[in-house]
Amino acid sequence: MTEYFGTTVADIFATMPKRFKPEEAKEVDIAIGYEATGEGGGKWKATIKHGTLKVETVEGELTGCKTTIHTDAETFVGVTLGKIAALDALSSQKLRVAGDPKFLMLLLPKIFTPYAAPAKKPDAVTARDIIATIAERFRPEKAEGVAMTIGYDLAGEGGGKWTIVIREGKCAVREGLADPLTVKMTMEAKTYAGMMVGTIEAVTAFTSGQVKIEGDMAAAGATAKYFLKYVVPGATEAEELISLRVINSIEQRFATGPVMGRWFAGIREKKFLANRCPKCGRTQIPPREICAWCRVRVHEFVEVGPKGVVTHFDIVYFASPDPLTGAVRDTPYATAYVVFDGATEREAITLDLKQEDIPRLKEGARVRPVWAEVTTGSYRDLIGVELDEEEGSI
Amino acid sequence: MTMQEDHKDCFVLEGKMALPNQNFAGRLGSRFLIAIRDRKKIMGLKCNPCGKTFVPPREYCEKCWTKIADNWVELGTEGELVNFTVVRYGDRHLPKKPPYILGQIRLDGADTPLVHIVEGIDPRDVESGIRVKAVFAEKTTNTIMDIDHFEPV
């Protein structure tokens, strides 16, 4: 029996007696004829009389019906499930009613509980079922300005060849493979269905060679966000699990001491105050009470910078998540080792480089500081550095 | 030798460290809490071989290791105060202002006690063996505090 939207026309009629509400139909006396054309279709007659219902299949002509409904099997299932609006089907002539359509539209919901597609086990869902739901799962708001054609070549039972066209905020599914395609994905229909219902992990399927991607890889990866997740029809809702999120906070106080205090006092004035060792002459950034090499007390402060030179740098493409929040910072980001003008060679300080400048970053590049709008004498005052290109040194 | 230090630039930076936590009640714990929250019922898990009923719920019988995770039974919302202590110090993490009574309550139908707060009786007058009943919270929080407290019947 051919399925549409995960169910059959026959199942809709088979469940009719169960869905019938006799107490609502006491006053009703009507015979309704149904003709569903195409695969999985047929003719049925529902006779409702004083709270009783008789459903029969009809061979040949539908006779003795006050109202008859003529449509194709797919539209019939779609309208019954509410996947296709009845008014749209009527106005597009896909569904025709001989008799009074308005009367039917008011009567049927009253005397029948709505039909729901039978629950399917996740492994009984076929690729064809899932492809059939693509257009309704499309999220135009996510696909603004996207134009692509995605081809699926799915082998085996429940498979087939389809082209999904996304253009101008609309999505259409066509049988067969179009040419050209932005991306073509070839796999077993079973694999596709498994990935969509979540029993097969997409990354694993790809790396293990179960999925072949030809064309634009990035487009293949991006498709998921243009669609709502596929939900197996009739799947029972997951049980509610209780999980509480609590944020405990610990108050802290950090004392700077006189030397770091001086550094931050300088930062507030947008100055870099290093201190110079009386013995070796080295500048320390940030300053410290004792020269780390000579082990002597350091008293003299000197202003360095504010511009400097990048001696080397790291560009980070995969950021570790913040262990406290799980947040991952925007990548790529660059940490540059900067020696300020006037500072001793090799006394570099590590600073963030402005993200837009990363492609032009080179060793030896000149940089200047980027300050916060308001400087308060905090480590947040100095946001980082940016390339100082006016000097033409790059 | 004395040291002269200039303290004019010394200052203190105020900081706050946030520690996000996620506390998962577990599958059984969730069902237990949801029954209290939505149906105002206290559920336990019974081991049929031992005949022992546990509350709060546990997946396996502590005696015979039978898996009892699906054998839910409804307990009474009343029970006997089998033991208690009086909390006499206050702290920010504690649910009530001291002094308050923290009791072990064996609910009707249960074999293990449930720890909760007992109110409506002076800590000086409380004694083991009294009958108490659950008073459910009006505003629920998905915690055991969805039972607000127990009070003498």
**Same domain, residue pair A103 and A172:** no
Q: How far is CA B95 from CA A102, A148, B98, B137, in A?
A: 61, 58, 9, 13
The pLDDT, as a whole number, for residue A236 is: 57
The answer to whether the beta carbons of residues A268 and B55 sit under 8 Å apart is no
Question: The domain that contains A20 carries what CATH number?
Answer: 3.30.1050.10
**Same domain, residue pair A189 and A267:** no
Statement: the pTM of the whole predicted model exceeds 0.90: no
**Same domain, residue pair A54 and A131:** no
Does the residue A365 lie in any domain?
yes
How many CB atoms lie under 10 A from the CB of residue B120?
13
Domain endpoint, select from A226, A245, A267: A226
Does the residue A242 lie in any domain?
no
| Interface confidence: ipTM more than 0.90 | no
Could you tell me how far CA A131 lies from the centroid of its own chain? 18
How many domains does the structure of chain A reveal? 3
Chain A closest-CA separation from residue B26 CA (Å):
7
Does the residue A234 lie in any domain?
no
Backbone angles phi, psi at A284, to 5 degrees: -110, 125
**Same domain, residue pair A339 and A261:** yes
The pLDDT, as a whole number, for residue B33 is: 94
Report the alpha-carbon distance of residue A15 to residue A77 in Å, rounded: 13
Chain A partners within 8 Å of B32 (Cβ): none
For residue A100, give both structure tokens: 């009074």
* DSSP 3-state of A123: helix
**Same domain, residue pair A65 and A85:** yes
Chain A partners within 8 Å of B144 (Cβ): none
Report the alpha-carbon distance of residue A185 to residue A196 in Å, rounded: 14
Tell me which residue range forms the domain holding A13: 9-111
* Whether A240 and B30 lie within 8 Å, measured CB to CB: yes
**Same domain, residue pair A281 and A387:** yes
B14 touches chain A (CB under 8 A): yes
The answer to whether the beta carbons of residues A382 and A368 sit under 8 Å apart is no
Interface of chain A toward chain B, CB-CB under 8 angstroms: 239-258, 261-262, 264-265, 324-326, 377-378
**Same domain, residue pair A70 and A196:** no
Domain endpoint, select from A226, A247, A270: A226
Does the residue A159 lie in any domain?
yes
Sheet holding A160-167, edge to edge: A170-175, A160-167, A148-155, A183-188, A212-215
Report the alpha-carbon distance of residue A158 to residue A9 in Å, rounded: 19
Chain A partners within 8 Å of B11 (Cβ): 255-256, 261, 264, 377
Q: Which residues of A263-289 are buried (b: 16+ CB within 10 A; e: fewer)?
A: bbbbbeeeebbbbbbeeeebbbbbbee
Within 13 Å, how many C-alpha atoms sit on residue A198's CB side? 6
Chain B partners within 8 Å of A377 (Cβ): 11
- What is the average per-residue pLDDT within B41-63? 94
Where is pLDDT greater, at A24 or B56? B56
Task: Point out the residue among A244, A254, A326 whose CB comes nearest to the CB of B13.
Answer: A254
Does the residue A247 lie in any domain?
no
Mean pLDDT estimate for chain B: 90
How confident is the prediction along chain A (394 residues), in pLDDT tens digits per residue?
677 877 888 888 888 888 888 888 888 888 888 988 888 888 888 888 888 888 888 888 888 888 888 888 888 888 888 778 877 888 888 888 888 777 787 888 888 888 887 776 666 788 888 888 888 888 888 888 888 899 999 998 888 999 999 988 888 888 888 888 889 999 998 888 888 877 777 777 777 778 888 888 888 877 878 887 777 776 655 578 888 888 778 888 888 888 888 999 999 999 999 999 999 999 999 899 999 889 999 989 999 989 999 999 999 988 887 776 667 888 889 999 999 999 988 889 999 999 988 998 989 999 999 999 998 888 889 999 999 876 554 4
**Same domain, residue pair A333 and A298:** yes
* Beta-carbon contacts below 8 Å between A and B: 92
Q: So where are chain B's domains? A: 26-152
**Same domain, residue pair A376 and A349:** yes
Does the residue A366 lie in any domain?
yes
Chain A partners within 8 Å of B12 (Cβ): 253-256
User: Which B positions 53-112 lie with beta carbon below 8 A of chain A?
Assistant: none
**Same domain, residue pair A102 and A153:** no
**Same domain, residue pair A131 and A25:** no
**Same domain, residue pair A107 and A174:** no
Task: Point out the residue among B16, B21, B23 whose CB comes nearest to the CB of A251.
Answer: B16
The answer to whether the beta carbons of residues A107 and A32 sit under 8 Å apart is no
